[in-house]
């Protein structure tokens, strides 16, 4: 009797104990309750900090050693201010609720049938369906870096794993320091304070970061660093003989990155290693081309062959101005190099690398590119391998007495180490290869001239097995690259060099034999851009020269291939910044304003100032590329059309372009003109100002797109509701209102109401009175269900992704 009475209680207790490390859809986690990982390493639940006892945060902390060491927080910027907090698990993911209001979600990518949230003994919270992990907290770290966690970028998914400090020791909300991997050139880790770099690890050089002469590895743990086509990451794991040890990395609220080890005798965290320990660790403490050495007095010195730019400041210990060359480089006369040893390698954001080349190949590449200023290995193990080239000033170097790497700095011939050799040796080493090179070049030029003359006589250029005489007729002075040249430049079209892919096919980064960086647009066999569009892009852009238009360097039409070779744009597409929730924060109003003005000037050139009147027809954010200095350049002229004489309008039975950027008269009737581009420009401006896409835009109060939302807010006098919060502090509200009004003038429904690009440029650059805009095109509200079904397409938008064809002409 007694046993049967308590049997249900014991069964319930056993079930509860078995599921102590997990919660599911039927057992939420409420304020005051916690769950513990299987071996009791970590605990999860709601907590408060001593400084903010009224706030409740959902997080994870160490269970066995120190219950007040929090390693992860979910709702760091949205605390629960009462005891009604609940953590719920649904088919869509993990939710943190304040009563019935959702304040945080794991944003899982898909719905699952058997959802479970489990806390692992690694400190990782996973959301899974059976054994399949759908989401994990290790992919979304806060300020702590635990063993087994990856720090870096998943290149397949675009996921970035980075760290952001707490605001203070008692406030887990987002602080001002961010530590993340940068892959602008050769990958490295940068510490940002807001939009300013304050510390740099240096690139990975085989056994550790260049900025750590004594590498961060011990018998306690091992380090792994991976650079592959699929991901770039740093990770550390405990060694097999040190499983009982406890260590972590933490980004502190004041911007220090520290490795901490738990001291079992004193029961406190001990600082084993601090990444920033002195002034020389501050980013660019000695300015460009200067070297900081903590053991020297003064701490900063210029490299051999350089002198302080501002000697008076230098004498007062203000070294930020850096150093300038004693003798300017002269690429034509021939430069040399000096060997600088025992240094932290310079900032690699303006660099190029190849892990398969030798150091001698690297030297040749640097000499062949007049913009190259230094070279080195990418891996210093076993005598060194790989090639790393720098362009521009060499920033953020420091010297070490016992360790560091070797850097070869480009110098004028008179200042280089080679100048010490005898004149006879110099003649043998320099003149003879030079003569050989000149001979080879002359032979190639003769062959090229012969081939060009032969093609002109035929009047035909065979392309994909089809004859077309368009290049011959236009007599474009445009180089024809061979497949061998482009394959060599792109490492055989390596996936490491792949920049992205659109409807036409992939784009690769490359470097020509002379060291010039290029972007190669390789049309796929199934590309929507056919021969006509290919020839159209060649004929259009080859005739154009403007600082806000991307430059076409040549083409390749061999062996069934169709490729276009452009100048390389290191900052890629504008969409990769303004639509990124993190990168957009460093893109202030001044930068966005400069980009808007640059695009306007580029369009004005196309419409009125070039020898041809060109309608782009596919102007959109992803077709705006950014150069080294964030100058915008309009790209992708495959859909462009050339107007002749006084022609201002045309019609087509084949409407091509991208939904959301097409004006009504073009999308519906096939009519296009310069005013079509003006409409697209207006859409683009609103996207730049708001940080939101026009297609897929959602608002809880209505079912309009971004244009409709901006129109409503303009009429309500609430234009700031349209503006991206990331630029509110850096903007002038009057300027914002004026730019929004100009954008609305551009997207008016009827083309005759829209201004010309010359008027737009004038309005942007002056304070002339603006007219009142009329209703924009496509202003009617959408069906919410249709809007939902189509919004997912917008999220994956790429170059020429969406094309439409009209069967009925106007």
Question: What is the per-residue pLDDT across 26-81, written as a single tens digit (0 to 9) for each?
Answer: 889 999 999 999 999 999 999 999 999 999 999 999 998 876 899 999 999 999 99
Taking residues 483-494, report their average pLDDT: 89
Cα distance between residue 694 and residue 723, in whole Å: 14
Cα distance between residue 561 and residue 487, in whole Å: 12
- Alpha helix locations (H) across 386-530? 423-426, 432-458, 470-474, 483-489
Strand partners, 200: 190
Taking residues 7-13, report their average pLDDT: 40
pLDDT tens digit string along 734-765? 889 999 999 999 999 999 999 999 889 888 88
- The residue with greater pLDDT, 421 or 675, is 675
pLDDT tens digit string along 294-342? 877 788 999 999 999 999 999 888 999 999 999 999 888 889 999 999 8
Cα distance between residue 417 and residue 431, in whole Å: 17
Identify the active-site residue in 618, 636, 677, 724: 618
Using only C-alpha atoms, the chain has a radius of gyration, in whole angstroms, of 30
| Contact call for residues 185 and 353 (beta carbons, < 8 A) | yes
Determine the pLDDT at residue 71.
97
Closest by CA to 772, choosing from 752, 749, 742, 747, is 742
Cα distance between residue 698 and residue 706, in whole Å: 8
pLDDT at 786 over 80: no
| Secondary structure letter of residue 605 according to DSSP | I
Taking residues 611-638, report their average pLDDT: 87
What are the CA-CA distances from residue 435 to residues 425, 591, 784 (Å)? 15, 47, 71
Least confident of 5-14, 350-359, 631-640: 5-14
Cα distance between residue 722 and residue 713, in whole Å: 7
Place of tokens 């209680």: 9
Determine the pLDDT at residue 367.
92
| Contact call for residues 745 and 754 (beta carbons, < 8 A) | yes
Determine the pLDDT at residue 553.
87
Cα distance between residue 210 and residue 403, in whole Å: 10
pLDDT confidence tier of residue 212, bands split at 50, 70 and 90: confident
| Contact call for residues 303 and 281 (beta carbons, < 8 A) | no
- The CA-based diameter of the chain, rounded to the nearest angstrom, is 110
pLDDT confidence tier of residue 390, bands split at 50, 70 and 90: very high
Strand partners, 273: 259
Cα distance between residue 87 and residue 141, in whole Å: 19
The long-range contacts involving 666-674, CB below 8 angstroms and separated by at least 24 positions, are: 666/617, 667/804, 669/810, 670/806, 670/809, 670/810, 671/751, 671/810, 672/615, 672/617, 672/641, 673/615, 673/648, 673/649, 673/751, 674/607, 674/613, 674/615, 674/648, 674/756, 674/757
Q: What angle do CA 534, 540, 541 make, to 5 degrees?
A: 95
Determine the pLDDT at residue 264.
78
* 397-398 and 290-292 beta bridge pairing: parallel
pLDDT at 632 over 70: yes
| Contact call for residues 800 and 618 (beta carbons, < 8 A) | yes
Helix (H) or strand (E) holding 168: strand 163-168
Q: What angle do CA 230, 362, 499 make, to 5 degrees?
A: 30
Phi-psi region of 386 (alpha: psi -120 to 50; beta: other; left: phi over 0): left
| Contact call for residues 658 and 800 (beta carbons, < 8 A) | yes
| Contact call for residues 23 and 62 (beta carbons, < 8 A) | no
**Most confident stretch, 166-175, 443-452, 517-526:** 166-175
What are the CA-CA distances from residue 794 to residues 121, 619, 671 (Å)? 39, 15, 24
Compute the mean pLDDT over every residue in the chain, rounded to the nearest whole number.
82
- Alpha helix locations (H) across 653-726? 664-669, 674-690, 706-715
Determine the pLDDT at residue 11.
39
Taking residues 267-292, report their average pLDDT: 87
Burial class of residue 299 in the structure, from the number of CB atoms within 10 Å of its CB (0-12 exposed, 13-18 middle, 19+ buried)? buried
pLDDT at 457 over 60: no
Determine the pLDDT at residue 669.
83
Count CB-CB contacts under 10 A for residue 417. Answer: 13
| Contact call for residues 137 and 124 (beta carbons, < 8 A) | yes
pLDDT confidence tier of residue 477, bands split at 50, 70 and 90: low
Cα distance between residue 375 and residue 389, in whole Å: 5
- The residue with greater pLDDT, 372 or 425, is 372
**Strand locations in 309-370, DSSP E?**
323-325, 335-343, 351-354
Closest by CA to 132, choosing from 153, 111, 150, is 111
Determine the pLDDT at residue 143.
97
pLDDT at 91 over 60: yes
Helix (H) or strand (E) holding 575: helix 575-578
HEC secondary structure over 368-391 = HCCCEEEEECCECHHHCECEEEEE
pLDDT tens digit string along 490-500? 988 888 888 88
3-state secondary structure of 798: coil
pLDDT confidence tier of residue 406, bands split at 50, 70 and 90: very high
pLDDT tens digit string along 575-610? 989 998 888 888 899 999 999 999 999 998 888 877
Determine the pLDDT at residue 782.
55
Cα distance between residue 190 and residue 192, in whole Å: 6
**Strand locations in 264-370, DSSP E?**
268-274, 290-292, 300-302, 306-308, 323-325, 335-343, 351-354
Strand partners, 237: 222
Determine the pLDDT at residue 432.
67
What are the CA-CA distances from residue 676 to residues 224, 613, 662, 753, 800 (Å)? 52, 13, 7, 12, 17
Joined together, the tokens standing for residue 209 give: 């970061």
Taking residues 786-806, report their average pLDDT: 37
3-state secondary structure of 754: coil
Cα distance between residue 283 and residue 404, in whole Å: 17
Full set of structural domains in the chain with CATH: 19-140 (2.90.10.10), 142-277 (2.90.10), 280-420 (no CATH), 459-567 (3.30.200.20), 575-795 (1.10.510.10)
Determine the pLDDT at residue 709.
92
Strand partners, 614: 642
Joined together, the tokens standing for residue 310 give: 């501002």
Cα distance between residue 517 and residue 572, in whole Å: 13
Determine the pLDDT at residue 418.
59
Count CB-CB contacts under 10 A for residue 492. Answer: 10
Determine the pLDDT at residue 707.
93
Taking each helix axis from N to C end, the angle separating 674-690 and 706-715, rounded to the nearest 10 degrees, works out to 80
Helix (H) or strand (E) holding 60: strand 52-62
pLDDT at 464 over 60: no
Determine the pLDDT at residue 671.
87
pLDDT at 515 over 90: no
pLDDT tens digit string along 181-202? 998 889 999 999 999 999 999 9
Cα distance between residue 556 and residue 508, in whole Å: 14
| Contact call for residues 521 and 497 (beta carbons, < 8 A) | no
Least confident of 432-446, 531-545, 649-663: 531-545
Does a cis peptide bond (omega within 30 degrees of 0) precede residue 298?
Answer: yes
pLDDT at 420 over 60: no
Determine the pLDDT at residue 334.
84
pLDDT confidence tier of residue 796, bands split at 50, 70 and 90: very low
pLDDT at 427 over 70: no
Percent of the chain with pLDDT over 90: 45
Q: Compute the Cα dihedral for 292, 293, 299, 300 and give only its sign.
A: negative
Give the rounded distance of the alpha carbon of 340 from its chain centre: 31
Q: Can you give the pTM of this predicted structure?
A: 0.54
Joined together, the tokens standing for residue 727 give: 């630029």
Helix (H) or strand (E) holding 576: helix 575-578
Burial class of residue 409 in the structure, from the number of CB atoms within 10 Å of its CB (0-12 exposed, 13-18 middle, 19+ buried)? buried
Determine the pLDDT at residue 436.
72
Taking residues 712-731, report their average pLDDT: 88
Q: Compute the Cα dihedral for 252, 258, 259, 261 and give only its sign.
A: negative
Taking residues 262-278, report their average pLDDT: 80
Percent of the chain with pLDDT over 70: 82
Determine the pLDDT at residue 65.
86
Strand partners, 457: none
Determine the pLDDT at residue 424.
43
pLDDT confidence tier of residue 526, bands split at 50, 70 and 90: low
Strand partners, 555: 480, 564
Q: Is 618 a catalytic residue?
A: yes
């Amino acid at each position: 009797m007694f046993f049967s009475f308590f049997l249900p209680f014991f069964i319930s207790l056993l079930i509860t104990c078995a599921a102590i490390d997990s919660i599911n859809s039927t057992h939420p986690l409420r304020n005051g309750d916690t769950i513990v990982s299987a071996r009791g390493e970590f605990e999860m639940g709601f907590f408060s900090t001593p400084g903010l006892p009224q706030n409740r945060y959902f997080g994870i902390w160490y269970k066995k050693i120190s219950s007040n060491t929090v390693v992860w927080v979910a709702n760091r910027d949205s605390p629960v201010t009462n005891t009604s907090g609940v953590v719920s698990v649904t088919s869509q993911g993990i939710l943190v609720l304040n009563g019935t209001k959702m304040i945080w979600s794991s944003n899982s990518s898909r719905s699952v049938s058997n959802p479970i949230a489990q806390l692992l003994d690694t400190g990782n919270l996973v959301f899974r369906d059976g054994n399949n992990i759908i989401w994990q907290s290790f992919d979304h770290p806060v300020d702590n870096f635990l063993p087994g966690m990856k720090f870096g970028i998943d290149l397949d998914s675009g996921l970035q794993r980075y760290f952001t400090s707490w605001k203070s020791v008692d406030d887990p909300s987002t602080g001002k320091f961010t530590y993340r991997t940068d892959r602008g050139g050769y990958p490295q880790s940068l510490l940002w304070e807001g939009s300013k770099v304050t510390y740099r690890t240096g690139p990975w050089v085989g056994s550790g970061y260049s900025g750590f002469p004594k590498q961060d590895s011990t018998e306690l743990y091992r380090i792994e660093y991976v650079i592959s086509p699929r991901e770039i990451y740093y990770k550390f794991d405990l060694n097999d003989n040190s499983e009982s040890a406890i260590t972590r990395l933490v980004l502190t609220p004041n911007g220090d990155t520290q490795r901490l080890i738990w001291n079992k005798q004193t029961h406190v965290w001990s600082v084993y290693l601090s990444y920033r320990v002195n002034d020389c660790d501050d980013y660019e403490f000695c300015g460009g081309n200067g070297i900081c050495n903590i053991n020297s007095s003064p701490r900063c010195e210029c490299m051999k062959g350089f002198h302080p730019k501002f000697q008076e400041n230098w004498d007062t210990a203000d070294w930020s101005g850096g150093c300038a060359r004693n003798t300017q480089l002269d690429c034509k006369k021939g430069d040399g190099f000096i060997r600088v040893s025992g240094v932290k390698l310079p900032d690699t954001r303006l660099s190029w690398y190849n892990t398969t080349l030798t150091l001698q190949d690297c030297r040749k590449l640097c000499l062949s590119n007049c913009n190259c200023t230094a070279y080195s290995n990418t891996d210093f193990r076993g005598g060194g391998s790989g090639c790393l080239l720098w362009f521009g000033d060499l920033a953020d170097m420091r010297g070490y007495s016992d360790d560091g790497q070797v850097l070869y700095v480009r110098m004028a011939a008179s200042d280089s180490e080679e100048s010490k050799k005898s004149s006879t040796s110099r003649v043998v080493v320099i003149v003879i290869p030079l003569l050989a090179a000149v001979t080879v070049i002359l032979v190639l030029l003769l062959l090229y001239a012969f081939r060009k003359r032969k093609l002109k006589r035929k009047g035909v250029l065979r392309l994909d097995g089809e004859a077309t005489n368009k290049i011959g007729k236009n007599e474009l002075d445009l180089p024809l690259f061979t497949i061998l040249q482009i394959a060599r430049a792109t490492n055989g079209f390596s996936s490491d060099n792949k920049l992205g892919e659109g409807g036409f096919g992939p784009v690769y980064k490359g470097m020509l034999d002379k060291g010039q960086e290029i972007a190669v647009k390789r049309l796929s066999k199934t590309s929507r851009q056919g021969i006509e569009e290919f020839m159209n892009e060649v004929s259009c852009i080859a005739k154009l020269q403007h600082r806000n238009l991307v430059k076409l360097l040549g083409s390749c039409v061999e062996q069934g291939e169709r490729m276009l070779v452009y100048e390389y744009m290191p900052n890629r597409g504008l969409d990769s910044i303004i639509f990124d929730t993190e990168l957009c924060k460093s893109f202030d109003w001044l930068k966005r304003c400069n980009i808007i003005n640059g695009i306007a000037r580029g369009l004005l050139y196309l419409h009125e100032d070039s020898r041809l009147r060109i309608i782009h027809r596919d102007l959109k954010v992803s077709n705006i590329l950014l150069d080294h200095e964030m100058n915008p350049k309009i790209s992708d002229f495959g859909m462009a059309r050339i107007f002749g004489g006084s022609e201002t309008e045309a019609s087509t039975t084949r409407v091509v372009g991208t939904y959301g950027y097409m004006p009504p008269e073009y999308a519906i009737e096939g009519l296009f003109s310069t005013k079509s581009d003006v409409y697209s420009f207006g859409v683009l401006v609103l996207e730049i100002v708001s940080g939101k896409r026009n297609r897929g835009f959602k608002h809880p109060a209505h079912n309009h797109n971004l244009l409709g939302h901006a129109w409503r807010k303009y009429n309500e006098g609430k234009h700031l509701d349209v503006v991206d919060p990331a630029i509110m502090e850096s903007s002038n509200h009057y300027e914002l209102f004026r730019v929004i009004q100009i954008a609305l003038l551009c997207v008016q429904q009827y083309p005759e109401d829209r201004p010309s690009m010359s008027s737009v440029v004038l309005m942007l650059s002056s304070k002339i009175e603006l007219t009142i805009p009329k209703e924009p095109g496509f202003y009617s509200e959408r069906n919410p269900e249709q809007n939902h079904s189509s919004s997912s397409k917008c999220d994956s938008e790429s170059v020429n992704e969406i094309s439409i064809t009209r069967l009925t002409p106007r």
